[in-house]
Every structure is written in C-alpha cells, then in structure tokens.
Structure 1
Amino acid sequence: MSTTGIVIVFVVSWWLFFFMALPLGVRPPEAPEPGTVPSAPERPHLWLKALAATLLATAATFGLHWAMATGWIALVPR
C-alpha cells in the first residue's frame, strides 16, 4: 500500500471511529441555562474521544496494511 493509501485509510477510519464515539457518555445538563439548546451535552469530552479515535484508526490502518502485505487481503489483483 502506498503512502497516499495509508493516509486515506487512516483519515477515513479516524472520522468513522470519531463519529462512533461521539454519542458515548453524553449527558444533557439537568438545568439548562436560558438560551442554550436543552440537548447540548454538559461535558462532551472531545479530547478523549479524539484520542480513542486516533488509537483505533492507527490500529485499523496498521492491521489493514499488515493484511495486505502478507497477502490475506488483495485489493489489487496480482
């Protein structure tokens, strides 16, 4: 897999994992302030979710690269 392919797989999988992690652990505030959306999360913990997405995307990218390098997955016919 080329460097461009690795970057594309990483970016796509990062966004996929990030969007999957967004709803986890989100609680709306008990008493929302006037002028705010009642469903807005109190503490979204975006840095933690971005870190988790980075770790999972890195593992998925290296896993796919390893599977392609060993011949388990062939995206291009040989």
Structure 2
Amino acid sequence: MVAGALLVFTITWWVAIFIALPINIEVDANPQVGCAGSAPRNAHLAAKVLIVTIISSMCAGLYCYLKYVGYLADLSFLYDLVP
C-alpha cells in the first residue's frame, strides 16, 4: 500500500506542477537586454510547489483510505467490460 501511495503521490505531483506552472505568471513589459521577452518576472514557484504538494498529499491519502476500506478491491468487474 505504501508503494501505491508513493506512486499516486508522484504522478499527481508531476501532473499538478505542470498544470500549475503557467498559472499567474507575471511577464515584464520592458525586458532587460539579453533576457527573453517571455521570461517571467515573478513565477511564484514556492507557493505553487507548496500547493501542489498539499494537493498530491491529499490525493495519496485518499487513495490509502479507499484502499484500506476496500472500495478499490472490488474493481475486477471492469475487466468484464473490455471486449
């Protein structure tokens, strides 16, 4: 169960960080010479990493709870739906 929780945490963390990276980017109107015009002035990386870590921890905790209670054990009927 621990390996599954770590897998869920890792996958949700990476997916969520790639979703969160382009949100609320502040681009400078007059960039300095030698800098890309699309370079962010303030990307808020620390806040994004903290929020994504909290969300991923909640998803991994929910996975552990559902696995422990047994809700995820009765999914074998899904194999019958595949032709």
Smaller-chain TM-score range?
A: 0.7 to 0.9
| TM-score, L = length of structure 2 | 0.81
TM-score, structure 1 normalization: 0.85
Count matched residues.
76
Could you tell me which residue of structure 1 aligns to residue 57 of structure 2? 58
Task: Report the Cα offset of residue 76 of structure 1.
Answer: 7.4
| Consecutive aligned runs of 4 or more in structure 1 exceeding 4 Å deviation | none
Unaligned ranges ≥5, structure 1: none
**Structure (1 or 2) with the larger CA radius of gyration:** 2
Higher strand share: 2
Contact 2:5 2:63 in 1 (8 A): no
For structure 2, the 5+ residue unaligned runs are 77-83
- Would the alpha carbon gap of residues 75 and 21 (structure 1) be closer, same or farther in structure 2, given more than 3 Å must change? farther
Q: Between the two proteins, what is the percent identity of the paired residues? A: 29
